Chains A and B, each alone.
Chain A
Amino acid sequence: MSKPLLQVRNLTTKFGNGPGAVTAVNNVSFDVDAGETLAIVGESGSGKSVTALSILQLVPDPPGRITGGEIVFDGIDLTKLNEDEMRAIRGNRIAMIFQEPMTSLNPSLTIGLQIGEPINLHKRLPWQKAYDKAKELLDRVRMPDARSRLANHPHQFSGGMRQRIMIAMALACQPKLIIADEPTTALDVTVQAQILELLKELTRETGSALILITHDLGVVARYADRVCVMYGGKIIETASALDLYAKPLHPYTRGLMASIPRLDQPAGLRLVPIKGQPPNLAQLPPGCSFNPRCGEVAERCRRDVPELMKADDKHMHACWMAPHV
């Protein structure tokens, strides 16, 4: 078997110092294979974005820093690269799409310039060619009147169109990996579906792998091949999408599935909420972070931290009490 495109090993990212320090990403390991879509799902504050920023070496320092682990992309450990070397990879071989496109677009430049620039820079195409390529990309993300819209500025587009522009920019250099952090959370439901469908279709065409960060279990079910579930800075379960939904093993994953109202189940069914509150990273309990909310908690859970363990070849969980498969 060929090696995974991306191997994250024991990644740990911290913010701050002293007693207020938090470990936003705590000993996280996962792989992404070429061409696959991996979803990272979890609630607010669980460490999804910091995981993405760590891969891209964009953790704001200070207060943040990667304190351990490896991030091997295409054979290179990204944690060992300097900023110049990293810049040659970002936007070129690894592209990113963020939730709010306005923060990643320059309001004073035309989008033709903004899409053309990385092509001109990374692919060393002359400007005229880069501009043609930009038009082609806008066509691909189904932007009407692509040629004339190249001369427009970001504020002249709607939210959905801006996100299409971000996708066009992400695709510009045919990256091997695209990281999309909640790319549609700010958009209307019908536009969300358009954008995700487009992203999925284009990555399928280009063979790019996709890390899709979301808190929506429906989106995961529709688009992901594999899933990592995060809780309190750790991956607590990982499996193929099919396995995860068919037999969730971690009590948190099972709790989530039982607590969301869903259109594929009878209405009026009583939801089973997860008791308690999401964890405070600055004051995690000893042992398993989920233990104060867990219905199956045992003595060991309050003492020892469970790391990911194998249920079978492809399905892993971090729970002392999870059923054996």
Chain B
Amino acid sequence: MSEVLTREEPRSAVKSNVILDVQDLKIHFPIYGGLFQREVAAVKAVDGVSFQLYEGETLGLVGESGCGKSTTGLAVLRMLPVTSGKIVFEGVDITNYDQKQMRPIRRRIQMVYQDPFGSLDPRMTVADIVGEPLEIHKLHGNRAERRERVMELLEMVGLRHDMIDRYPHQFSGGQRQRIGIARALAVEPRLLICDEPVSALDVSIQAQVVNLFQELQDKLGISSIFVAHDLAVVRHVSNRIAVMYLGTIVEISSRDELYANPKHPYTKALMASIPVPNPIVEAGRAHHIIKGEVPSAQRPPPGCRFHPRCPQAMPICKEKVPELRPEGKGMVACHLFS
């Protein structure tokens, strides 16, 4: 399940166990300006991202604010115009699908959002919220059947049956996130895109939801993309992890390989920046703090985007964009490895 993909394997479509194949995806947001409101520049939110997701696998997407994690997730759902590249889902190229063509696909790809407060309609009961996708996709025809299915889903996410007629405000943050997850699972999707699903929760509640994700993976075998900035949480739920920096993937590897043996200087910096809750470990740990901040996605640095902050930068790094290529058990985009 957590085997790592290399370039040698066929990249295009019908490989039975690849559920999602993203190829050189670019999502640029135009910036308009000047007298005639012409396009004067673009935010290169996602700028050449490729990855494949296997059946039953969870791919973690980590990186700092603005690196393009959410944009990547939304693009897969085709909720954003694709600038270039390809999105192949279950062997079908959906890059240019229109809204109507996307409808049956939306049933198979569901999203769980960060904000358990904002993402649920306060005027709807749990029965309505969780049952709505069933209605939209015309599943479980009559009311009684739908209600039955909602009960089942509530049980699956650890909520009680008697909560079915309550409103969102009657639930805590962790419970609301469970409602969001139940709703996403209602239509039996094959792919779940989770955008920071635990970030807004209290520390003591996060574990409940993280555990729920693990149970659901074990039980349902759903594939998922798990977006988060917390590396410890991501490590917990993912089989493989992609590290993003300024719209690109700089390293992708199996979970254990990435944490035991990070290769890209940015991955290393990110790991070193995360304090471990153990003063003895911390006292013996070198704090390689990298300088500077993430540059603007509008004017990314030439060559390797990380070069202005990289402690190991070489002359070539300023000029040539490093390609993501196989290295050890994963893939790295860094001239140190080319």
Contact = CB atoms under 8 A, between A and B. Distances in A.
A241 B279 contact: yes
A325 interface: no
Interface in A122-171: 158-161
B232 A273 contact: no
Interface stretch (A55-63, A259-267, A304-312): A259-267
Interface in B273-296: 273-282, 287, 289-291, 293-294
Nearest to B288: A193
Given A263-B235, A273-B205, A193 B289 contact: yes
B211 A270 contact: yes
Contacts of B211: 270-271, 273
B282 to A, nearest CB: 4
Given A194-B289, A221-B276, A263-B232, A188 B255 contact: no
Contacts of B1: none
Contact of A278 (B202, B210, B214, B294): B202
B23 to A, nearest CB: 29
Contact of A259 (B65, B206, B273, B276): B206
Contact of B276 (A43, A194, A264): A264
Nearest to B236: A261
Given A160-B293, A222-B275, A241-B279, A188 B64 contact: yes
Contacts of B278: 221, 245, 262, 264
Interface in A214-238: 215-223
B259 interface: yes
A241 B270 CA distance: 24
Interface in A42-74: 43-44
A110 interface: no
Interface residues of B, number: 44
A2 interface: no
Nearest to A223: B275
B233 interface: yes
A191 interface: yes
B149 interface: no
A194 B232 CA distance: 19
Nearest to A244: B279
B255 A267 contact: yes
A193 B204 contact: no
Interface in B246-282: 255-256, 259, 269-282
A257 B64 contact: no
B229 A189 contact: yes
B174 interface: yes
B17 interface: no
B208 interface: yes
Contacts of A219: 275
Interface string B203-240: 11111101100100000000000000111110110000
A139 to B, nearest CB: 15
Given A190-B290, A261-B236, A268-B236, A274 B277 contact: no
Contacts of A277: 172, 174, 205
Nearest to B285: A222
A256 interface: yes
A76 interface: no
Contact of B235 (A158, A245, A261): A261
A244 to B, nearest CB: 8
Contacts of A191: 293
A271 B281 contact: no
Given A188-B64, A263-B231, A271-B210, A257 B287 contact: no
A322 interface: no
Given A188-B64, A264-B278, A271 B272 contact: no
Interface of A: 43-44, 158-161, 188-194, 197, 215-223, 241-242, 245-246, 255-257, 259-264, 267-268, 270-274, 277-278
15 contacts: A188-B64, A188-B294, A190-B64, A190-B273, A197-B287, A221-B275, A221-B278, A245-B277, A259-B203, A261-B230, A264-B281, A271-B211, A272-B207, A273-B208, A278-B202
Q: Which 3 A-B pairs have the closest CB atoms?
A: A218-B275, A273-B207, A222-B275
Given A160-B293, A242-B280, 20 more contacts: A43-B204, A189-B229, A190-B269, A192-B273, A218-B274, A218-B276, A221-B275, A221-B278, A222-B275, A242-B279, A245-B280, A260-B232, A261-B210, A261-B232, A263-B232, A263-B259, A263-B274, A264-B276, A274-B205, A278-B202
